[in-house]
């Protein structure tokens, strides 16, 4: 039997031409045009002959960056934008009346259609005249340094899905988080500290737990390092007394040699390489991390600025101060998490919301002021927000609260190339949906990466089936109106 393996382009062309008008010139013309189109495309990517290597050495972004580091203040549970950031005169005017619009409730059993105006007053703050709640006096003092986004939205009403959208780009779980992407793209300036640190809350981990700082399918070298709220802040960092000094050094050198020999026989094993790197980093961290996490040497004025003199704000203020110290020492990305559902005020909002504000407002504002005083704010992007806002109607009339709202909510940013004293976007007259200049999670990510000198369409990682990215084919725009 004759082989047909040589039936290539020239033989196909000969075959079609020989058929005359039977298959005809139309088929031949189509085939020739297909060949010309193929020739115009870029040559296929050459296969990689050696396995890629990954590290945390500092890397220059493709474009000049405005931000070089980021501190993410993540308010898990969903702070009420209606009571804190987004004054609505019509909501006040119609307080207690029936809302006749369409609302998606998360808890239909406790749902009500009665409009609920904020019990707290708004007033203009700073030279910019930004309207903020009386519950945020600290933020009011730095109003001229922040961009307030009043038109955030994810459109998914559950905590986990909305957290995933804001933290990883998609509602699906198991993807790399923001800090992992930035560490992967840029590395870190300090090889004695992790590139990506997460300061956890004494009240427990947020919804989704450790997934909030997961590397997903990026090499595990880029996962976040959890720092505890109490001592020892990093588990198993210090060696037992009988291993200290030269004994530990000799042991680690020996272990390192064994690991490198093993890795040489297993090229491309990313988890193995990451494990070796983490052992080596842990040894270097014993001195560097202990110094960075120790705030005792800070001045009394600095401690007071962060609220360490107030029992209500002391714990969160300490973590904000540590975040500044880590960024100051070259760490690329720091996330501070509040505890599980701390802002999820389905009931008792009149007492619970002021309590949370007393805890975080003064330290959050202090972070902005301190970074600015030290000349770090221009290159450090600060983000404050949760995964959702709240509805304009009453939930639970016996113990008034607000249900979830992911269709329009607020967040603020400072430093790192964003405007100061600027309010972006708007929700409707009741604060329910973003209607003016909405900012999706994909827009937020595209803008964030742009501030770091990165292109959201090009920053990717090879996976089976194609390249994957933070935005991953979603419609996204750089929100240029936010940029200074």
CATH for the 69-234+293-482 domain, from 3.40.50.970, 3.40.720.10, 3.30.2320.30, 3.60.15.10: 3.40.720.10
The residue that leads in pLDDT, 460 or 236, is 460
Average pLDDT estimate for 117-129: 98
Average pLDDT estimate for 284-292: 81
Q: Phi and psi for 64 in degrees, rounded to 5?
A: -60, 125
Query: Residue 338: which residues within 8 A CB-CB, separation 6 or more?
Result: 74, 75, 76, 77, 201, 203, 206, 316, 356, 360
Residue 131 burial (CB count, 10 A): 17
What pLDDT, in 10s, does the model give residues 142-154?
999 999 999 999 9
Task: Give the confidence band of 231 by pLDDT, cuts at 50, 70, 90.
Answer: confident
In this predicted structure, which of 155-164, 331-340, 432-441 has the lowest mean pLDDT? 155-164
pLDDT, position 109? 81
Q: Where are the domains of the chain?
A: 69-234+293-482, 235-292
Task: Give the confidence band of 264 by pLDDT, cuts at 50, 70, 90.
Answer: confident
Q: Is 427 exposed, middle or buried (0-12, 13-18, 19+ CB in 10 A)?
A: buried
Check whether 17 has a pLDDT greater than 80.
no
Task: Give the confidence band of 257 by pLDDT, cuts at 50, 70, 90.
Answer: confident
Measured distance CA(102)–CA(391) in Å, rounded: 11
Average pLDDT estimate for 322-326: 98
Please list, residue by residue across 257-273, b when 16 or more beta carbons sit within 10 angstroms of its beta carbon and e when fewer do.
eebeeeeeeeeeeeeeb
* Residue carrying the six token digits 């990165």: 454
Pairing verdict, β 130-133 and 122-125: antiparallel
The residue that leads in pLDDT, 56 or 43, is 56
pLDDT, position 24? 45
What pLDDT, in 10s, does the model give residues 433-462?
999 999 999 999 999 999 999 999 999 999
Average pLDDT estimate for 295-299: 97
The residue that leads in pLDDT, 120 or 106, is 120
CB contact at 8 A, 91 and 394: no
In this predicted structure, which of 224-233, 312-321, 389-398, 448-457 has the lowest mean pLDDT? 224-233
Determine the number of helices (DSSP H) and then strands (DSSP E) in the chain. 13, 19
Angle CA 52–58–62, to nearest 5? 80
The residue that leads in pLDDT, 271 or 59, is 59
What pLDDT, in 10s, does the model give residues 346-381?
999 999 999 999 999 999 999 999 999 999 999 999
In this predicted structure, which of 77-81, 208-212, 374-378, 465-469 has the lowest mean pLDDT? 465-469
CB contact at 8 A, 453 and 63: yes
| β-pair partners for 337 | 74
In this predicted structure, which of 83-87, 245-249, 381-385, 436-440 has the lowest mean pLDDT? 245-249
Average pLDDT estimate for 106-121: 92
Measured distance CA(303)–CA(315) in Å, rounded: 11
């Amino acid at each position: 039997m004759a082989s047909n393996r040589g039936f290539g382009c020239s033989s196909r062309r000969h075959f079609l031409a020989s058929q005359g008008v039977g298959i005809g010139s139309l088929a031949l013309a189509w085939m020739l045009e297909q060949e010309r189109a193929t020739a115009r495309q870029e040559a296929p990517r050459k296969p990689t002959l050696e396995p890629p290597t990954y590290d945390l050495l500092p890397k220059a972004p493709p474009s000049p960056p405005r931000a070089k580091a980021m501190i993410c203040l993540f308010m898990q549970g969903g702070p009420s934008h209606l009571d804190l950031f987004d004054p609505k005169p019509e909501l006040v005017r119609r307080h207690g009346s029936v809302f006749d619009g369409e609302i998606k409730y998360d808890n239909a059993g406790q749902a009500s259609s009665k409009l609920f105006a904020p019990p707290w007053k708004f007033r203009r703050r700073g030279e910019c005249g930004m309207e903020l709640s009386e519950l945020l006096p600290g933020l009011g003092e730095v109003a001229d340094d922040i961009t307030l986004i009043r038109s955030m939205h994810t459109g998914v009403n559950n905590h986990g899905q909305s957290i995933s959208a804001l933290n990883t780009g998609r509602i699906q779980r198991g993807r790399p988080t923001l800090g992992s992407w930035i560490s992967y793209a840029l590395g870190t300036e300090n090889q004695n500290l992790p590139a990506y640190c997460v300061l956890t809350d004494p009240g427990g981990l947020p919804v989704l737990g450790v997934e909030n700082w997961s590397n997903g399918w990026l090499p595990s070298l880029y996962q976040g390092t959890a720092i505890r709220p109490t001592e020892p802040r990093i588990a198993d960092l210090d060696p037992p007394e009988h291993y200290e000094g030269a004994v530990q050094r000799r042991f680690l050198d020996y272990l390192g040699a064994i690991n490198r020999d093993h890795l040489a026989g297993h090229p491309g094993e990313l988890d193995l390489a990451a494990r070796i790197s983490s052992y080596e980093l842990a040894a270097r961290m014993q001195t560097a991390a202990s110094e960075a996490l120790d705030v005792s040497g800070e001045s009394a004025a600095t401690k007071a600025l962060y609220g360490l003199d107030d029992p209500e704000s002391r714990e969160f203020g300490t973590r904000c101060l540590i975040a500044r110290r880590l960024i100051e020492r070259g760490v690329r990305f720091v996330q501070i998490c509040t505890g599980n559902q701390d802002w999820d005020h389905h009931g008792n909002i009149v007492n619970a919301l002021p309590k949370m504000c007393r805890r975080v407002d003064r330290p959050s504002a202090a972070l902005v002021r301190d970074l600015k005083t030290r000349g770090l704010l221009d290159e450090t992007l600060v983000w404050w927000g949760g995964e959702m806002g709240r509805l304009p109607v009453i939930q639970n009339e016996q113990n008034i609260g607000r249900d979830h709202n992911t269709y329009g909510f607020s967040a603020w940013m400072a430093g790192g190339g964003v405007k100061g004293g600027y309010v972006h976007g708007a929700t409707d007259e009741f604060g329910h949906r973003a209607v003016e200049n909405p900012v999706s999670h994909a827009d937020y990510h595209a803008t964030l990466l742009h501030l770091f000198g990165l292109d959201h369409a090009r920053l990717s990682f090879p996976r089976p089936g194609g390249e994957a990215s933070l935005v991953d084919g979603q419609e996204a725009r750089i929100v240029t109106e936010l940029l200074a």
